[in-house]
Structure 1
Amino acid sequence: MTRIVFAPDSFKGTITAADAAAVLADAWQSVDPEAQVLLRPMADGGEGTVAAFAAAVPGAERMPVTIDGPAGSPVQTSWLLLPASPDALAGTAVIDMASTSGIELLDELRPWDADSSGFGQAIAAALDHGVARLVLGIGSSASTDGGTGMLRALGARFFDAAGLDAVAGARGLADIATVDLSELRTAPEVRVLTDVTNPLTGPRGAAAVFGPQKGLTERADQDRTDAALAHLATLLRLDPTTPGSGAAGGVGGALVVWGATLVPGAEEVARLIGLADAIATADVVVTGEGSYDGQSGDGKVPSFVASLAADAGVPVMLVAGRIDEDADTGIFAASASLTDLAGSSAAALGDPRRWLREAGKQLAR
C-alpha cells in the first residue's frame, strides 16, 4: 500500500490549497484505489492560509466575523480557532490578510484609499474571544497604508497637524503629525507568516516593489508613498530596514511595532500542521502551486516541501498551473503542468479542478 502526502499551496485566484489537495488525492485513488492519502494543504501566509489550517487541524472552528474590507464595504469572513489541547496549538487564532484586507476583495485597485483596517478588526475579534496566540498570514494585501488601518482597529490613533484623525490609506500617511499608542491593545504571542524579507522603504521597499501591483504604477507616486512610509517609521520608532517590515504594504512593520515576530511562512505553517512527521511516514509527497518559476525556490511552498521530503529520503512530485522554462524542476521525481495538460493557460485557468484531476492521475501512473 502506497502512502501519499498531498501538500500543495493554493493555485492563486483559482482553487484553494485544501481543495487542490482533495482533488489530487481523489484522482490518485482513482488510479490506485489501495493508496492511503493524507491531506496537508500548505500556505506561506498568503491566500488560503486559514483554509490550510482548517483542513489540516482536526476540530478547528471557523469563527464568522463581519469586517470593513479594503475599500470600506462590509465583508463577511472568518478567522480560525484551533482546538484547545496540551500542545502548542492551544488557544490559537489563525487570521489571514487575504480574506480580510486582501487584493482579491477589490473590484478595482484603490492605491490611495485601500487600507488594512479589516485585518485589524478580525484580530480584535479573536482577542475579544480570549485567544492566547495569534498566527497571522499577511500575503495578498490590497493596500500600502503602513499598517495604520490595522493599528487603528487595535486602538492606535493617527492625527494630522490640526489634531484631526488623519485620512485612512496611503493618501493620509504624509499628513500624520502625531501618533497615540496609549490605547493600543496588548499583543499576545504573535507569529506573522510572510514569504518576503523586504524592508519598509527604499528600492526594495513596500512602495517600490509591491506598490505597482496595488495601483502605484507611476514612479512619482511610489516615491511619494515611500517618503510617507519613512515618515511613519520615524513616528513609530521603527527601523525601516527591518527585514519583512515592507510586507503587506508595511503591515509587517506595524506588527513588529505591536510586538509580533516575523517568521518564514511556509516553514511556520509546516511546523504547526506537523508536515515533517507526516512526510516521514510517506512513500511519496505531492506539492504544487499556481506558477512554478525561477523564483519558486526562494522560500515558496513547493521548494520548502521538497526540502522536507529530501531530508526524509522521500520522493516528491510537483503539480503547477504552469511551469516556466527557467524553473529548476530537477528536485522533483516527476512534474505535471496544468497548462500543458489543458493545451493553454486560459483552458487551465477556466477549469482547474478538471486539469488537477488529470495531473493527479498522471502522477499516480
Structure 2
Amino acid sequence: MRVLIAPDKFAGTLTAVQAAEAVAAGWRRHAPDDELDLAPMADGGPGFVDVLHAALGGSLDAVTVSGPHGDPVPAVVLRVGTTAYVESAQAAGLHLSSGPVETASSAGVGELVLAAVAGGATTVVVGLGGTGTNDGGAGVLAALGAQADGVLDGGAAPLGAVTTVDLAAARSRLDGVTLVAASDVDNPLTGLFGATKTFGPQKGVAEDRIAEVDGWLEAFAAATDRRTSLEKGAGAAGGIGYALLVLGASREPGIGLVASAVSLAERARASDLVVTGEGAFDFSSRAGKVPYGVAAVASEALRPCIALAGQVLVGSREMRALGIESAYSLVDLVGEERAFSAPADALADLAARVARTWSR
C-alpha cells in the first residue's frame, strides 16, 4: 500500500518535517511493507520556508531583523533563482512577542523583504501567518520607506492618530519587484471578521479592547487605502497582508503554493491513502489551512484522506465537509500531558494505531 503523509506543523511541539517523520515511524510499526511518501506541508505560517527549501532546494541567506518589540532576531531568506521566499513569523512570530500586542511592530517583515530585494530577487513571496503583531502591516510599510503624519512602526496603538500615509518611497524601493502574499486566511483587515476580532484574542488583545484596537486599524486604513482593507487576505498576519496588497502584491493561498512546489497532486494520484494533520483540527481549518488543502487535493485524485491531530474539535459531519474521512486525536489517545511532553513518540503511537484500521 502506498501512503502519502502530508501534515502541517503541530504548533508548539513539532515542525511539519518532525510530524511527518513521527507518523511514518509509527505507521511502519504496524505496516512495515507499506510505501510511505513524506510531504511536509505549510500554509504560509511557521515552517513555510523550511518546507519550501526541502522541496525546491535553493540557498538560505541568514539575516538579522527587528523583532516585534525591536529586539534583533535571526531569520533567513530562501533564494531559488530570482525568486526569494520569506516567512513573516520569523520576524514577527507570536513566539517572539515579549510585550503588549498593541505595541508590537511588523517592521522586521519589511526588513526581510528589503534583504530579499538587496540580494537580487525580482519576485518576493511572503508567507503570512503565526504572527504576534496586529498593526495592519504599518511596520512593514515604515521599514520600506512609507511616510506618515504619525508613527507607523510602533504597533497598532499610534495608528489612531495617523491621517495621511505616503507610499511613494515604499513603492519606489520595490520598483520592478513582483510581490506575492502567501496567505493562510482570507479575512479582511477590519470589522466583524477582521484581524483584530478574529485573531486578536489569541495574541493578547483583551475582549473589552477589541473595538478600540480595531478602530485604530480603521483609521489607518482610511488614511492609506480603505478599499484594499476590505479585500480577502488583508487581515492575514495581523494585517501584513494589507501592507503587501497596498504595495501591489498578488495574493495566493499558501497551501496552494506549497502544494504546487511539492507536486502534491501527482504524489496523491500515486498513493492509495493520504494522511494529513495539524495541532488542532477544527472548523477554522477550512480557511486555507493545510488539512483542508490536502484533503481537496486528495479528493481531486479520488483518494481517501484522514487526519491525525493534537485535538479534534469537529464532529463527523463537519469533518466530512472538510473532505476528511476520519480524524484521530492525540490527546484522546495518550492524554494532554504526554501529547505535549513527548509529542513525537505520542504521534507515532497514534499513527501505529491508525495503521491497523487503514493499512491493508
The answer to whether the superposition gives a TM-score over 0.5 is: yes
Aligned mates of 1:291, 1:248 — CA distance in 2: 18
Q: In structure 2, what is the equivalent of residue 100 of structure 1? A: 91
- The amino acid that maps onto 2:85 is V
Q: In structure 2, what is the equivalent of residue 88 of structure 1? A: none
Q: What is the aligned counterpart of 1:304 among 293, 297, 306? A: 293
- The amino acid that maps onto 1:262 is R
Query: Residue 41 of structure 1 contacts residue 56 of structure 1 at CA under 8 Å; is this kept in 2?
Result: no
> What are the ranges of 5 or more consecutive residues in structure 2 without an aligned counterpart?
none
Does the C-alpha gap of structure 1 residues 347 and 112 become closer, same or farther in structure 2, counting only changes over 3 Å? same
Aligned mates of 1:168, 1:52 — CA distance in 2: 32
Please state if 1:159 is matched with 2:155. no
Please say which of residues 328-337 and 172-181 is displaced more in the overlay: 328-337
Q: In structure 2, what is the equivalent of residue 72 of structure 1? A: 70
Query: Residue 186 of structure 2 contacts residue 287 of structure 2 at CA under 8 Å; is this kept in 1?
Result: no
Q: In structure 2, what is the equivalent of residue 256 of structure 1? A: 245
- The amino acid that maps onto 2:157 is R
Higher helix share: 2
Aligned ranges 1:81-92 → 2 under 5 Å: 81-82=79-80, 84=81, 91-92=82-83
Q: In structure 2, what is the equivalent of residue 241 of structure 1? A: 230
Aligned mates of 1:73, 1:335 — CA distance in 2: 40
Aligned mates of 2:250, 2:74 — CA distance in 1: 28
Q: In structure 2, what is the equivalent of residue 35 of structure 1? A: 34
Please state if 1:146 is matched with 2:136. yes
Aligned mates of 1:325, 1:210 — CA distance in 2: 20
Please state if 1:213 is matched with 2:213. no
Q: TM-score, normalised by structure 2?
A: 0.90
Aligned mates of 1:49, 1:130 — CA distance in 2: 21
Aligned mates of 2:326, 2:238 — CA distance in 1: 37
> What are the ranges of 5 or more consecutive residues in structure 1 without an aligned counterpart?
85-90
Percentage of identical aligned residues: 38
C-alpha displacement of 1:166: 5.3
Aligned mates of 1:54, 1:30 — CA distance in 2: 29
Does the C-alpha gap of structure 1 residues 335 and 211 become closer, same or farther in structure 2, counting only changes over 3 Å? closer
Please say which of residues 165-174 and 94-103 is displaced more in the overlay: 165-174
Query: Residue 164 of structure 2 contacts residue 223 of structure 2 at CA under 8 Å; is this kept in 1?
Result: yes
Query: Residue 317 of structure 1 contacts residue 363 of structure 1 at CA under 8 Å; is this kept in 2?
Result: no
Q: In structure 1, what is the equivalent of residue 218 of structure 2? A: 230
Does the C-alpha gap of structure 1 residues 75 and 167 become closer, same or farther in structure 2, counting only changes over 3 Å? closer
Query: Residue 178 of structure 2 contacts residue 249 of structure 2 at CA under 8 Å; is this kept in 1?
Result: yes
C-alpha displacement of 1:32: 3.3
C-alpha displacement of 1:275: 0.8
Deviations 1:210-248 (A, max 9, x none): 2222222143x3223222222222222241322221222
Does the C-alpha gap of structure 1 residues 186 and 75 become closer, same or farther in structure 2, counting only changes over 3 Å? same
CA RMSD of aligned residues (A): 2.0
Q: What is the aligned counterpart of 1:62 among 60, 63, 69? A: 60
Q: What is the aligned counterpart of 1:180 among 157, 166, 169? A: 166
Does the C-alpha gap of structure 1 residues 291 and 275 become closer, same or farther in structure 2, counting only changes over 3 Å? same
Please say which of residues 139-148 and 198-207 is displaced more in the overlay: 198-207
Aligned mates of 1:20, 1:275 — CA distance in 2: 17
Deviations 1:12-61 (A, max 9, x none): 1111111111222233234333333222111111122112212222x233
Q: In structure 2, what is the equivalent of residue 198 of structure 1? A: 187
Q: TM-score, normalised by structure 1?
A: 0.89
SS of 1:191's equivalent in the other structure is: strand
Does the C-alpha gap of structure 1 residues 132 and 39 become closer, same or farther in structure 2, counting only changes over 3 Å? farther
